[in-house]
């Protein structure tokens, strides 16, 4: 089976938080989103919490792939009234109006309805932004295309460093969290430990990650039946 070996890393983290994953081709952007969520400590609302917004930024294609339903509906409305809205914005003859028009012309697609293959192979990388508050910037780099992958789900091959929990406050908040989390003498140690448990925070554990990735099965293969 055709598969992609990708490196997934949290940009600007130091030391770099990264994972190497092999995943079957023919995945939707939503499947890739699920992979990213599982190899890090993110939950994206699972199982019942509110889901953070995310997007794959394909500016070069004038395309955003996102779960932002409001942005999707705005784009659908623009398509229905394109001539009128373009005419109105052009008449304003301002830099702001030009930027608004550019934004409206950016195609918005839902992650469940579009596959990654042509974009990953064409550009060799994808950029993913998760939780517009904490603003996690994640780079997915294509390292290899494999022709004989046996399993219908992703597998973690390698990685380094513990990933941040949800709602920790971006990288600055994460580094502060780690300092307290590992310091029993800190006055906030017990509270932070309790909070981390509620966030299902785990230090880097490849075996646990691979157990979770097996649930992201989207291909039936002989390897699945014989392993």
Ordered mean pLDDT values, 10 residues apiece, the chain (227 residues): 97 98 97 96 71 92 94 88 73 73 83 96 98 96 97 97 96 98 98 96 97 90 55
Kind and range of the H or E run holding 31: helix 29-39
87 and 48: one domain?
Answer: no
Contact 137, 12 (CB under 8 A): yes
25 and 82 housed in the same domain: no
Q: Are residues 63 and 75 in the same domain?
A: no
**What is the C-alpha to C-alpha distance for residues 89 and 70, in angstroms, rounded to an integer?**
21
Number of folded domains in the chain? 2
pLDDT score of 91: 75
Q: Are residues 11 and 26 in the same domain?
A: yes
Residue 227 is predicted with a pLDDT of 47
User: Would the pTM of this model clear 0.85, i.e. be above it?
Assistant: yes
Give yes or no: residues 19 and 91 share one domain: no
Residue 10 lies in a domain: yes
Phi, psi (5° rounding) for residue 77?
A: -65, -40
Same domain, 53 and 138: yes
Q: Is the same domain home to 77 and 144?
A: no
For residue 47, the model assigns a pLDDT of 54
User: What's the domain range around 16?
Assistant: 3-67+110-162+208-220
- Together in a domain, 61 and 140: yes
* Other beta carbons within 10 Å of 198: 10
**Which two three-digit tokens encode residue 173?**
């908040």
């Amino acid at each position: 089976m055709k598969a992609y070996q990708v490196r997934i890393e949290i940009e600007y983290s130091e030391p770099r938080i990264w994972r190497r994953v092999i995943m079957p081709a023919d995945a939707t952007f939503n499947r890739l989103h699920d992979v990213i969520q599982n190899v890090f400590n993110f939950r994206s609302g699972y199982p019942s919490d509110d889901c953070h917004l995310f997007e794959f930024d394909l500016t070069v294609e004038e395309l955003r792939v996102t779960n932002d339903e409001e942005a999707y509906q705005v784009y659908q409305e623009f398509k229905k009234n394109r001539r009128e809205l373009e005419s109105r914005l052009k008449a304003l003859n301002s830099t702001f109006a030009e930027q608004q028009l550019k934004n409206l012309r950016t195609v918005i697609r839902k992650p469940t309805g579009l596959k990654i293959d042509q974009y990953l192979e064409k550009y060799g990388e994808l950029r993913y932004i998760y939780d517009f508050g904490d603003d996690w910037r994640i780079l997915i780099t294509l390292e290899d295309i494999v022709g004989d992958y046996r399993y219908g789900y992703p597998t973690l091959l390698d990685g380094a460093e513990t990933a941040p929990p949800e709602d920790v406050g971006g990288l600055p908040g994460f580094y502060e969290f780690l300092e307290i989390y590992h310091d029993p003498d800190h006055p906030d140690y017990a509270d932070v430990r309790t909070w981390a448990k509620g966030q299902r925070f785990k230090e880097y554990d490849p075996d646990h990650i691979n157990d979770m990735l097996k649930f992201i099965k989207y291909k039936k293969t002989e390897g699945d039946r014989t392993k």
